[in-house]
């Protein structure tokens, strides 16, 4: 059986993460991130569901996930996955866009899968530069060239795209969960806020967001815990602060959505801190 290798690097200069999952069989349930994910398949094939559309992705295909894009994936035909990506926080993206265009906005990628993309070669080179801890000059050049082409070919302003076709009741429920994720939220609470029956809310929310209300809440909590772990907060404390009452549930959800255990994820930032001290 092929050994799983999960490698994550945090680049303190570019302020982004690079992931490589090699030999991985794990299925990822429907979830989203609060950051951009730009990735590609090096080996293997995957079934991908993103924003209620289904794809079969293979080597050479480019993946472009916006913050909030719900997606899930599973391996095809029992084969193992070799997947690589860079995760770009909103603020990092905002600064990069301003450098490129002089405009204060975030891009919204209108295509989530670009089949047989020529830009995979440039992304692969950037990913390798981060993984091998290349000097800042080369990485920045690759980063800006990649984003410039992605924005020119596949993006429109985020605010305009993100606010179109928004249901006010669903938006209110999303905002409530974002503000109160630490609390014990119930479906009755959400139904009252939306002014909709529980069943109609479930249908409307899932149709618009591409993810159920409960999965949305869990994803928010995992995202909050992820940021706490980056700051050196212990997994136990991060779980409590993010609204998880059960440590084992927290660890299971974190591994399912991020692909690493909380301790494995926290360790990459410990290494970065130690490198700065040396």
Q: Which pLDDT score, from 0 to 100, does residue 78 have?
A: 64
What DSSP string runs through 104-140?
A: ---EEES-SEETT-TTHHHHHHHHHHHHTT--HHHHH
Across the 278 residues of the chain, what is the mean pLDDT of every consecutive 10-residue run?
82 94 89 95 92 91 95 82 94 94 90 96 96 88 95 83 70 95 94 93 90 94 94 94 93 93 88 43
How many other CB atoms are there within 10 angstroms of residue 78's CB atom?
A: 6
Q: Which pLDDT score, from 0 to 100, does residue 158 have?
A: 73
CB 20 within 8 A of CB 131: yes
Q: Which pLDDT score, from 0 to 100, does residue 272 have?
A: 45
Q: Which pLDDT score, from 0 to 100, does residue 163 have?
A: 54
How many other CB atoms are there within 10 angstroms of residue 148's CB atom?
A: 15
Helices (H), 8-60: none
Q: Which pLDDT score, from 0 to 100, does residue 89 have?
A: 96
Encode pLDDT of 152-211 as tens digits: 999 987 766 555 556 889 999 999 999 999 999 999 999 999 999 999 999 999 988 889
- Say what the pTM is: 0.85
């Amino acid at each position: 059986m092929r050994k799983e290798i999960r490698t994550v690097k945090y680049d303190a200069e570019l302020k982004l993460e690079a992931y490589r999952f090699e030999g991985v069989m794990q299925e990822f349930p429907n979830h989203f991130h609060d950051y951009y994910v730009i990735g590609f398949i090096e080996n293997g094939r995957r079934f991908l569901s993103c924003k209620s559309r289904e794809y079969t992705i293979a080597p050479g295909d480019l993946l472009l996930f916006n913050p909030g894009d719900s997606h899930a994936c599973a391996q095809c035909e029992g084969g193992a996955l070799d997947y690589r990506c860079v995760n770009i926080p909103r603020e990092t993206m905002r600064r990069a866009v301003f450098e490129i265009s002089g405009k204060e906005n975030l891009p919204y990628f209108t295509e989530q899968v670009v089949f047989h993309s020529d830009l995979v070669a440039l992304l692969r080179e950037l990913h390798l530069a981060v993984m091998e801890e290349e000097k800042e000059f080369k990485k920045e050049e690759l980063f800006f060239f990649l984003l410039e082409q992605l924005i020119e070919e596949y993006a429109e302003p985020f605010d305009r795209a993100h606010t179109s076709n928004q249901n006010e009741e669903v938006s209110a429920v999303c905002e409530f969960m974002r503000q109160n994720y630490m609390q014990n939220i119930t479906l009755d609470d959400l139904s009252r806020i939306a002014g909709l029956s529980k069943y109609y809310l479930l249908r409307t929310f899932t149709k618009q967001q591409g993810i159920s209300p409960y999965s949305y809440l869990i994803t928010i909590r995992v995202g909050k815990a992820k940021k706490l772990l980056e700051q050196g907060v212990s997994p136990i404390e991060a779980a409590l602060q993010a609204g998880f009452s059960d440590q084992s549930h927290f660890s299971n959800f974190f591994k399912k959505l991020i692909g690493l255990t909380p301790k494995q994820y926290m360790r990459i930032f410990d290494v970065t801190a130690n490198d700065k001290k040396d």
